[in-house]
Amino acid sequence: MAATTPADTKLVAQRFPTTPRASRARHILGYWRHPIAQALLKAFLTVFVTTTITFFLIRLMPGNPIDIKIDELTKDGAMSYDEARAQAASLFSIDLDKPVFEQYLSFVGNLAHGNIGYSFISQGTPVMAIVLAVLPWTLFSVGTGLLLSFSIGVFLGLFAAYNRNTKIDHILSLGGSIISAVPNYFIALLIVIVLGVELRWVPITQMRGATSPGMQPGFTLAFVGDVLFHAALPISVFFLATLGHWILGMKSATINALEEDYVNAARARGLSDGRIMTAYVGRNAVLPLVTQLAITAGLAIGGSILIEQYFVYQGVGLRLQAAVTQRDYPVMQGILLMVTLSVVIANLAADLLYSKLDPRIGRAGGATGT
Amino acid sequence: MTAAALPRRGDRTLPRPLESAIEFLRLLSKRPSGLIGFIGILFFLTLAFVAPLFVPNQESGDVTQLYETPSLQHLLGTDNAGRDVLNQIVQGGKEIMSVALITAFLTTLVATVLGSISALIGGRFDAALVAIADILLTVPPLIVLIVISALARPTNFLALALVLSLLGWAGLMRQVRAQVLTLKERDYVEAARSLDLGLIHIVFREILPNMRSYIVIHFVLAMTGAIYAQVALIILGLVPFSGKNWALMLYFAQTQGAFYFKDAFWFVFSPILAIILLQLSLVLFVNALEDIFNPRLRSS
């Protein structure tokens, strides 16, 4: 320690803080800088901000649902304004005389207890029950379609990059472009009008719904088969609509990775082509695509509002469409909250998967703790 | 302007834009799919903005000819009120194209300005903007658009473009920011800074001209996004438009139950085909642009 320069003492002072309180603060700060903690914080912020914005949007817009309900109740003169106001307020379980900000606080308080209110139209039904009845179907169809298209698309993209400028590459690239240009809801609509109505190859009326009527849920072969039969069309649409994106993305990522120095180094070391393709090129090329999975899931869920309508598949999209036409604002808000939550969780999973696939991230996270 | 008479450093001789346009077309002609996309875009621009001037708008149909299949008289058949479908296709592109162009312009402008300022100022302002962009990128865009449209009820195409732009800027803003972060280390930006030329000058004269290709690509991509979103909103009946519009045709087809009516096939299929071909032209063109501007991907 005799030969320390002023810069060194500064460094030492930072590493070993003198008071225990400072040490604890630094410890906590260290955790906050960890990528996983940051991802969690970001996820929480996203859900919080979206919920807050929709809350105020709904209440500050002209013609808010409370006024609409009051209008509706007083229109035929059956009820006085005050009665109607009281009933509308009870339906929304909020006090109308409170300032919007206090209403917001009580809303957040309810939210913290897992209570996201009651449906406006189906009176007395908790929004949570409505959302939980439809969300699994959408997550199942979007998730299955997306995982299928990701694994097949990544493989095809890698294949196209390794066979660059051959006929198969041109077919895959052009096909990928064409299919990614078609809006996902039009794929669904084309299946209905071409395969269903015009050619009658697909029994679209039998495939409606999430399950056949009278089907008992359980882990039986009949039930699983029935679920897959009804989900087949939405899954195919989500699969086709995202396939082109993965093919094109993986192809260009692979082409970039093939020119990296470490690939040349691996070749020079005499590693087999198969090992270079999987461990060096493929692994590095697929990394940026993993982070896009969650964004793509968000896009697919957005498209599901029309896709589920065309197939009459009882998921989030179909329910949201009903809530929008009935102006059932609590259900709209609840669905938006749960969908955001699902996408945020998918994002988190992608972040974790990313740090698992890319050891540099984990190491960097450990290093920032100091 | 006297600038033409006094050529400064960096000023170009007059035929240069023409020259680069010819060079661009030459590069494009080597990519057949890109050329097809370019021609497709020109075709749809003509169809949307020029053709309606020459084709009379047919308001009422012939009630004796409901859901006619294609014939010489009606090349794409007729709709539920006996109106000619081809006539509606000709008239119905203007609004879609206008919304797409305005939205693309607004999102590109907002994203480029915010992205470059964010990167140059840095600090808390930068962190806050990136956080907002991250949040916008996480929330499913169409779902939020549906909620906003249900509340805001955009009644004209300018309002719809504004609503669409509200959510569209985040992705491009992050990419512009990343680009500017690398560009700002370049010598010429450092030089401009040391000369104290000001933020506005640095953004508009030093950095943005170097991102032209990038901005053009994202302008076209923003158009595809705007078309995707507005068509969905109109089909859902959330945008109370009236008049002729491809997406509106599909909305009416749906309310009439025409999807499940075999004779109405061309009535439903024509607007779908028009929108898909428009999107395809934009995507093929943008792929060719990326290919031209990014030499690493350029086919050897």
Question: Is the Cβ–Cβ distance between A242 and A296 less than 8 Å?
Answer: yes
The mean pLDDT of A124-151, rounded to a whole number, is 90
Distance from CA of B19 to the nearest CA of A (A): 30
The verdict on B295 touching A (C-beta cutoff 8 Å) is: no
CA distance B88 to B93: 9
Handedness of CA A236, A239, A242, A245 (dihedral sign): negative
What residues of B are in contact with residue A256 (Cβ under 8 Å)? 296
pLDDT at B78: 75
Distance from CA of A27 to the nearest CA of B (A): 23
User: Is A336 in contact with B279 (Cβ distance < 8 A)?
Assistant: no
ipTM over 0.95? The verdict is no
The verdict on B275 touching A (C-beta cutoff 8 Å) is: yes
The verdict on A178 touching B (C-beta cutoff 8 Å) is: yes
Residues 61-80 of A with CB under 8 A from B: 61
Helix axes B157-168, B141-152, angle to 10 degrees: 140
Element (H, E) at B40: helix B32-49
User: Is B268 in contact with A344 (Cβ distance < 8 A)?
Assistant: no
Model confidence over A8-29: pLDDT tens digits? 444 444 444 455 565 565 666 6
User: Is B140 in contact with A49 (Cβ distance < 8 A)?
Assistant: no
pLDDT at A13: 44
Higher pLDDT, B150 or B266: B266
CA distance B112 to B108: 6
pLDDT at B240: 75
**pTM (predicted TM-score):** 0.81
Measured CA distances, B290 to A96, A146, B279 (Å):
55, 26, 16
Residue B185 binned pLDDT confidence (cut-offs 50, 70, 90) = confident
The verdict on A343 touching B (C-beta cutoff 8 Å) is: yes
The mean pLDDT of A323-337, rounded to a whole number, is 81
Distance from CA of A359 to the nearest CA of B (A): 23
Percentage, residues of chain A above pLDDT 70: 80
| CB–CB contacts below 8 A, A to B | 133
Of A141, A340, A338, nearest to A236 (Cα)?
A: A141
Q: Which residue of A has its CA nearest to B299?
A: A165
Model confidence over B193-207: pLDDT tens digits? 788 877 778 777 777
Of A169, A173, A167, A213, nearest to A312 (Cα)?
A: A213
Model confidence over B233-282: pLDDT tens digits? 888 888 877 778 898 888 988 888 878 877 888 888 999 999 999 999 99
Amino acid making up residue B226:
A
Residue with tokens 């705007």: B226
Q: Which of A94-98, B45-49, B185-189 has the lowest mean pLDDT?
A: A94-98
B163-199 burial, b if ≥16 CB within 10 A, otherwise e? bbbbbbbbbbbbbbbebbbebbeeeebeebeeeeeee
Distance from CA of B21 to the nearest CA of A (A): 25
For B84, phi and psi rounded to 5 degrees?
Answer: -70, 130
Q: Which DSSP string do the residues of B101-165 spell out, in sequence order?
A: HHHHHHHHHHHHHHHHHHHHH-HHHHHHHHHHHHHHHHS-HHHHHHHHHHHH---SHHHHHHHHH
Q: Which two tokens stand for residue B126?
A: 């930068």
